[in-house]
Amino acid sequence: MKVTGGLRFKFCPDCGEMHDVHDWPGNHRRPFEALSAPSVMTDEMAPTQSMVDGQYYTSKRKIRDTYLPSGNKEGKRYAEVGNDSSVLDPKPFKKPKPDRQAIKAAVGKAFSRAGLGA
């Protein structure tokens, strides 16, 4: 038999054995059929209070409409940032000072193990 492009045998998700792709059992799902489930993102969410108008919303689209200038009384555009403290209150990175005594102790220990120190 001639094999054209790719593997000839594939793993069967139903029985756990390898089958010839050209002679697949009729009562088993094909390998590409085993994982064919769509990923669905819904518009529903738990009731969430909008910080713009104070109302509760269960639709992501409706609450995001209040963040646009046309959806609120102030006519301003708002950004959805969540409750991540790094976004709300970013702190600058501070490089820690090196512990010089610990460094000297580690170097001395390494020299002692190598037989180069006292």
- Give the residue extent of every domain in the chain: 7-37, 44-81
Percentage with pLDDT > 70 across the chain: 83
How far is Cα 14 from Cα 75, in angstroms, rounded to an integer? 58
Query: Which secondary-structure segment (H or E) carries 62?
Result: helix 60-65
Query: How much is the pTM?
Result: 0.41
| pLDDT for residue 92 is more than 70 | yes
pLDDT band at 7 (very low <50, low <70, confident <90, very high): low
Q: What is the mean pLDDT of the chain?
A: 82
Query: Which secondary-structure segment (H or E) carries 46?
Result: strand 44-49
pLDDT single digits (tens) 19-75:
888 888 878 776 665 555 677 889 999 998 888 888 999 999 999 999 999 888 889
How far is Cα 74 from Cα 31, in angstroms, rounded to an integer? 55
pLDDT for the residue numbered 1:
45
In single-letter form, the type of residue at position 2 comes to: K
pLDDT band at 106 (very low <50, low <70, confident <90, very high): very high
pLDDT for the residue numbered 32:
64
List phi, psi (to 5°) of 85. Answer: -65, -25
